[in-house]
């Protein structure tokens, strides 16, 4: 693991878009931040996302902004 500054964009539902600081396919630690240290071994676990809810939230926000 290594620290890297990222920039967050607008929220989409309960998610945030990362606008800079990551390359495609890179992962972000979102749990256990208090226990992680530079150079620590991280075993990534993919968390399933409800794509339908994410898409619905994005569509609702798009309509609300109009």
Q: Look at the pTM and tell me if it is higher than 0.85.
A: no
Q: How many CB atoms lie within 10 A of CB 13?
A: 15
Q: 2-35, pLDDT tens digit by residue?
A: 888 999 998 887 888 899 999 988 988 888 888 8
pLDDT reported for residue 19: 93
Domain range holding 47? 7-65
Q: Would you state the pLDDT for residue 47?
A: 80
CA atoms of 40 and 20, how far apart (whole Å): 23
For residue 50, tell me if it sits in a domain.
Answer: yes
Asked, for residue 2, whether it belongs to a domain, the answer is no
Q: Is position 34 within any domain?
A: yes
Tell me whether residue 1 is in a domain.
no
> Which residues neighbour 22 within 8 Å (Cβ) at sequence distance 6 or greater?
4, 6, 28
What distance in Å separates the CA atoms of residue 36 and residue 53, rounded to the nearest whole number?
Answer: 30
Can you give the pLDDT at residue 44?
A: 86
- Note whether residue 61 is domain-resident: yes
- Burial (Cβ within 10 Å: 0-12, 13-18, ≥19) of residue 7: exposed
For the segment 54-64, what is each residue's pLDDT rounded down to a tens digit?
666 666 666 66
């Amino acid at each position: 693991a290594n620290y890297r500054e990222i920039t967050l964009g607008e929220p989409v539902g309960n998610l945030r878009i990362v606008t800079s600081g990551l390359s495609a396919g890179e992962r972000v630690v979102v749990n256990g931040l208090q226990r992680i240290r530079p150079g620590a071994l991280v075993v990534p676990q993919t968390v399933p996302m409800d794509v339908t809810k994410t898409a619905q939230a994005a569509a609702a926000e798009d309509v609300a902004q109009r």
